[in-house]
Structure 1
């Protein structure tokens, strides 16, 4: 069986390795040029393809006529998308003889759309996973082929959950691929009325609203903790970013919502008197000590 693969990130790397291990002939991989403005903490699809002698292209627009002609000439049995960042045009998908399939980082139909793992952590979900589904014109709307779930523990960050989802994606593809290659493709309903759709997130979305309960603030921290940009707040002209934190065991009903220094330790107090214990706080890339934060709080009172 011959495939054209659109791929990026760790999910792209691992799923390409699964295809190779199952004997799929990968005629072409379409990936992205790394953005120099982005923190690249993940593995390289292009480097993997170079190791295996797989042809690679990095078009800015997957809807280009040149790419369409290239895929048409290959006449693939399958088109796969593994964490490729753009929607693929329906005309291009039609070039796959058997079908076109995408690996999504949630348990569809929940969390359709962009950055599903971050959204799941932000909303305090206890489980997520990976779903292989058929690609249609509408994002993440096609029939479900297979999915694998993973737990989200109370203190897991989105980065930690992403590591689990990479393994879930690998397991999902490994387990169902023999049936797909044999022409027996399971198609389960993907009931969009039981799910949700979310857009992308920007660094500004990490701004902390201290009028929320502490658990909601903690979930925001977990959802955007490094290597993502981080949850942040501003005192005066200084932006403070939370690097590492946990829910605090003590309450602070007598303190206003916001950053606080108590017993030489840094806390973030929610509007419910609960708090997060902040182990690492940075400003301008430097670690902030309790003494430094205390002075900043004196200079910029609530």
Structure 2
């Protein structure tokens, strides 16, 4: 039987943030893990907060929570030592944990990563996978080591990336996949007999974080590449943008045009043009995306404004 409370009162310290953090904490609780401390982040007022709150969850469930700028200080380490946890888990926590922290868990430290390791190790793996036109990604539960995303693989769950999926939509799938992966893996982890698969880094890839400036559109690229960029950073992420006459326009919603079913007007220049109330983003290969919603200064432009600006 695989219901709730399947362990003998094992304890955990959890490093968590975002929706994955919320769902994963709930999954640990449902499996009977006693969470003694959550280490999280305070929300950044300069960041668009579109995800669930770990802080609110901890308040609701009465779980002690701290949010140090650096989780590897002596103060935080002493707090974890005093708990002497069976497990340490990391769920979408943004800081690296030192080896000194990882060694404090008697039964191991484990992280949920948003890719099918060893592919897309590092930062923002969902956005990178969409940008590169992948048709599949997933979630990996793995042992944590001092080197990021390099420990042995405990479990993985794959999800499809459909042709028009944005990173936001894929992240929603991964949140569910994270919960499934953790739920299915926990009984073996608790029993101490979880299988471990090699995480062969030579077969994978590593990517760093992305900055808003990385969303700048290069219209000389192919339409598929420009469309992938849009999908990778579409709102609620900062968005793919282009500067025209000193003004910054952000693509809110778009679709890749099939040139066999939709005629692209001839002789349009690269970039944005409006023809018969249709907004085209013409790319270097002669194909185009259709821009369904375009923002200027955070406001979605109406058809009259678009025609005036890009006629």
Task: Tell me which of 256, 279, 287 is aligned to 2:300.
Answer: 287
Q: Structure 1 residue 256: deviation in Å?
A: 1.8
| Range moving further from structure 2, 77-86 or 243-252 | 243-252
Quote the residue 2:25 is aligned against.
16
**5 Å matches for 1:111-260?**
111-249=120-258, 250=262, 251-252=264-265, 254-260=267-273
In the alignment, is the contact (CA less than 8 A) between 1:75 and 1:97 conserved in 2?
A: yes
Q: Residue 235 of structure 1 contacts residue 296 of structure 1 at CA under 8 Å; is this kept in 2?
A: no
Contact 1:104–1:130, Cα closer than 8 Å, also in 2? yes
Secondary structure of the residue aligned to 2:254 is strand
Unmatched runs of 5 consecutive residues or more in structure 2: 1-9
213-222 vs 248-257, which deviates more?
Answer: 248-257
State the match for 1:62 in structure 2: 71
Greater CA drift, 245-254 or 121-130: 245-254
Following superposition of structure 1 onto structure 2, how do residues 75-86 of structure 1 map, counting pairs within 5 Å? Answer: 75-86=84-95
Once the two structures are TM-superposed, the CA of residue 48 in structure 1 deviates from its matched residue by 0.8
Residue 277 of structure 2 contacts residue 307 of structure 2 at CA under 8 Å; is this kept in 1?
no
Which one is further off, 279-288 or 200-209? 279-288
Q: Give, in whole Å, the separation in 1 of the partners of 2:286 and 2:304.
A: 23
Give the CA RMSD over aligned residues: 1.0
Per mean C-alpha deviation after superposition, the further-off stretch among 245-254 and 33-42 is 245-254
Count residues in correspondence: 298
State the Cα distance separating 1:255 from its structure 2 match. 1.8
Q: For residue 4 of structure 1, what is the aligned residue in structure 2?
A: 13
| Higher deviation after alignment, 225-234 or 259-268 | 259-268
Shift of 1:294: 3.8
Residue 36 of structure 2 is matched in structure 1 by 27
Give 1:257 shift.
Answer: 1.2
1:16-68, Cα deviation, whole Å (9 max, x unpaired): 00000000010100000000110110001111111111111111101111000
Q: In the aligned structure 2, how far is the partner of 1:212 from the partner of 1:174?
A: 42
In structure 2, the residue matched to 1:87 is 96
Q: Distance in 2 between matches of 1:165 and 1:32?
A: 21
Q: TM-score, normalised by structure 2?
A: 0.94
- Compared CA separation, residues 184 and 253, structure 1 to 2 (3 A): farther
Kept after mapping to 2: 8 A contact 1:253/1:273: no
Which runs of 5 or more residues in structure 1 are unaligned?
none
Q: Is the 8 A contact 2:115 2:125 kept in 1?
A: yes
